[in-house]
A and B are shown apart, each in its own frame.
Chain A
Amino acid sequence: MRGHTLSELREGYSFMLPLIVFLGCFVLLPVVGTFVTSVYQDVTFLERKFILFQNYRRLIGDADFWRALRFTLLFVAVSVPLEMLLGLSFALLLNQSVPLRGLLRCCVLIPWAIPAAISGRTWELIYNYNYGLANFLLARFGLSDEPINWLGSSAGAFASVVLSDAWKTTPFIAIILLAGLSVIPSELYRQAKVDGANFLYRFYRITVPLLKPTIIVALLFRTIDALRIFDLIYVLTHGGPGGATTSLSLYGYRYFLVGDFGYGSSISVTLFVIALVLALIYVRLSRWSTELT
């Protein structure tokens, strides 16, 4: 990494300059701006004044904030591993040479290509109490006498959100892992077979170690994405019932809507810090895993 000449450096940075300018304008500035807003009392109908960390102090005593945080973290903890598991299975299946593999790969990608607002609406119709597909199937196969109010209880709404999210984002993980799988040299497997290693042994000794960096990248993307979940919930449950599925982004958004920009910003900054810490952990993890191999 050492020994670059000055002109090399200059050339390198000039290539990166557009990206740096872009990220600076559209990422760094808004983040700094949000942080600045969060230390003000910035309510449309009150005088703007500097209040340092009062918004954050208010967060600590805000039971709804903790509830939203708990929901968001729980959502990440349940949905990401589930999607990882499903995504890995899909990737392994699609990596086999089966007929129509290209078509299958395309089909798996479809849910990922549908905007979250639309898939949210679709799932809402599936869970609908009166005319939803889920209750229709239950009645059709005689599994339940009465229709089930899927989104009616906290647990039901949580499970519904996780399921809808898994349906939508599993393909994303599958595709990333598939890319990771395709670069593992097939000679390794062939050789292992010659040595008499069975499928499980090959999976744990070849696939998992070589796929680890890809898994970590997929995890990083999914974790951060899941932390900021907004659109799906906005459409599907609107944060209900009784606020049980309100994520941090949705909670912050509510304050922007009613004109309390300061408090809304402090929620956004908190979410940003959580995402940043997790991202740093993952980056550390990926370095550590590449150093090992």
Chain B
Amino acid sequence: MMPRILLVSLSAFLFLSLLGGCGRDRGADVTFAVGGAPFEIEFWEELIAEFEEESGISVDILRQPTDTDLRRQGLVIPLNAGKSDPDVFFMDVAWLAQFAASDWLEPLDRFLSQKKIDLDVFFTDVVNLADRYEGNLVALPVYVDGGLLYYRSDLLTRYGYRGPPRTWEELVECSRTIQEGERAENPGFYGFVWQGAQYEGLVCNFLEFAGSNGGGIGQADGRIRLLSAENREAVRFMYDLIHRHRISPPNTYTEMKEEEVRASFQLGNALFERNWPYAWALHQQDDSRVKGRVGIAPLPHFPSGRSASTLGGWHVGVSRYSEAKQQSLELLAFIVSYRTQKRLALTLGWNPGRRDVYLDDEVLQELPHLADLREVFEGARPRPNLPYYTQISDVIQRYVNAALAGETTPEAALAEAERELAEVVERYGQD
């Protein structure tokens, strides 16, 4: 008889633990979803502990992964089901519009005026072009990003260049000369590394090449325009960098994402690098081969255009389904406060969403490059603020990547992409 009792109790235990796993312990007032590298999450835990002590509001931290797609997936599922937690969460700027249009975000205007939080302390264009959706403020910037040109200052000096290139033409010329010189010792040396793999980063890079030629993703009377002489020239140039000038490696369109690009530059295998500001601190680490030999500058432009930088970054918002809105809003106010943003800059090297922190003496002393970054961010261009932006990005990624691989011409790629974008708009652009 004994084994049977054992079996029954074991299965009962398993069944109950299965049921138990579904319910969530709702001990805390507010659930805060935060992802990123482990050291970043640890610092958030420290900050939140202080917030709990000061405010008397208890916060549960929901650890999210580093990968952007997985973080998004972890939010879309509970929000789509109307779950009350997480209450407060970070969003990539590229999904803000989808979240806002799905009516998942609590409007913030009233709370901010109640708390007398001045919107002018944030980057104006970022707030107006990314955080506002149909007039409502739905999020605030915590971390601002924009594409930059990193260069090897030692190599430029050694080869007699006075400064980083201002136009793409200069970049090509400079790269060819130095690449030829450096190849004698380092056969894997390339002039310019950037993100060309098929993923969101490629769209950011494309927007910078195109934007610096006066092009980009055009939006007019409910249509999306891609096929223009400027964009064609930009894609052609991206292709040429790899196949004609051969100053960008052949794996640009297959493997090159942020980290691959950073690694190649940091190992001393590249003269120029297009990357986000996060790479700066890593290039300056002790184990970096380029430590103290790196400079940053705005990205180059075409003869008739101006330098363009794609706006990236993370924003904080409050769930519409939150059952503790007031407490959640308090947490949001804490996150975007001067004190917290300054500490994020000093401890994690984040670029704050508040521009007043960029004028802080202590911050500038620790992070002098922030002075340059501020200007880049002031003019950074957001991606189209549409709820179905990801579908648009998907189409552009695929066609631009195919053009880089030489599977189609820039002209055909853009024309095909534009045709497919019309279908996307027709499908998702109703209402």
Minimum CB distance partner of A242 in chain B? B402
CB distance from A151 to the nearest CB of B (A): 5
Main secondary structure of the interface of A (DSSP, over half): loop
Contact residues in A for B101 (Cβ distance below 8 Å): 44-45
Contact residues in A for B197 (Cβ distance below 8 Å): 238, 240
With beta carbons under 8 angstroms apart, the residue of B11, B103, B394 that contacts A254 is B394
Contact B254 A259 (CB under 8 A): no
Docked Cα-Cα span, A39 to B264, in Å, equals 48
Contact residues in B for A261 (Cβ distance below 8 Å): 80
Contact A129 B102 (CB under 8 A): no
CB distance from A230 to the nearest CB of B (A): 13
If A46-B430, A129-B255, A259-B98 touch, whether A243 touches B398 (CB-CB below 8 Å) is yes
Write the A35-70 contact mask toward B (1 if CB under 8 angstroms, else 0): 000000001111100000000001000000000000
Minimum CB distance partner of A156 in chain B? B254
Contact B98 A129 (CB under 8 A): no
Selecting from B69-77, B109-117, B219-227, B369-377, the interface stretch reads: B69-77
Q: Which of B10-57 contact A (CB under 8 A)?
A: 11
Q: Count the A residues whose beta carbon is within 8 Å of the partner chain — how many?
A: 28
Contact residues in A for B69 (Cβ distance below 8 Å): 257
If A45-B101, A129-B249, A149-B250 touch, whether A243 touches B198 (CB-CB below 8 Å) is yes
Contact residues in A for B104 (Cβ distance below 8 Å): 44
Asked if B118 lies at the interface with its beta carbon under 8 angstroms from chain A, I say no
Asked if A183 lies at the interface with its beta carbon under 8 angstroms from chain B, I say no
Docked Cα-Cα span, A239 to B269, in Å, equals 28
Contact residues in B for A259 (Cβ distance below 8 Å): 76, 80, 98, 102
Contact residues in B for A152 (Cβ distance below 8 Å): 250-251, 253-254, 405
Selecting from B170-178, B323-331, B385-393, the interface stretch reads: B385-393
Minimum CB distance partner of B401 in chain A? A242
Asked if A182 lies at the interface with its beta carbon under 8 angstroms from chain B, I say no
Contact residues in A for B249 (Cβ distance below 8 Å): 129-130
If A44-B102, A257-B72 touch, whether A241 touches B253 (CB-CB below 8 Å) is yes
Contact A45 B98 (CB under 8 A): yes
Asked if B368 lies at the interface with its beta carbon under 8 angstroms from chain A, I say no
Contact A43 B407 (CB under 8 A): no
If A152-B251, A240-B254, A258-B98 touch, whether A44 touches B76 (CB-CB below 8 Å) is yes
Asked if B361 lies at the interface with its beta carbon under 8 angstroms from chain A, I say no
If A44-B76, A45-B102, A258-B98 touch, whether A130 touches B251 (CB-CB below 8 Å) is yes
Minimum CB distance partner of B101 in chain A? A45
Asked if B428 lies at the interface with its beta carbon under 8 angstroms from chain A, I say yes
Minimum CB distance partner of A255 in chain B? B391
Docked Cα-Cα span, A152 to B253, in Å, equals 7
Minimum CB distance partner of B256 in chain A? A129
| Residues of A in contact with B (beta carbons under 8 Å apart) | 18, 43-47, 58, 128-130, 149, 151-154, 238-243, 254, 256-261
19 A-B contacts (beta carbon < 8 Å): A43-B428, A44-B98, A44-B104, A45-B428, A46-B428, A46-B430, A129-B249, A129-B251, A149-B251, A152-B254, A238-B199, A241-B405, A242-B198, A242-B401, A243-B198, A256-B73, A256-B76, A258-B394, A259-B98
17 more A-B contacts (CB under 8 A) besides A240-B401, A258-B388? A43-B428, A44-B76, A44-B98, A44-B102, A44-B104, A129-B251, A129-B255, A130-B188, A152-B405, A238-B197, A238-B199, A240-B198, A242-B401, A243-B198, A257-B72, A257-B76, A259-B102
| Residues of B in contact with A (beta carbons under 8 Å apart) | 11, 69, 72-73, 76, 79-80, 98, 101-104, 188, 197-199, 249-251, 253-255, 264, 269, 387-388, 390-391, 394, 398, 401-402, 405, 407, 427-428, 430-431
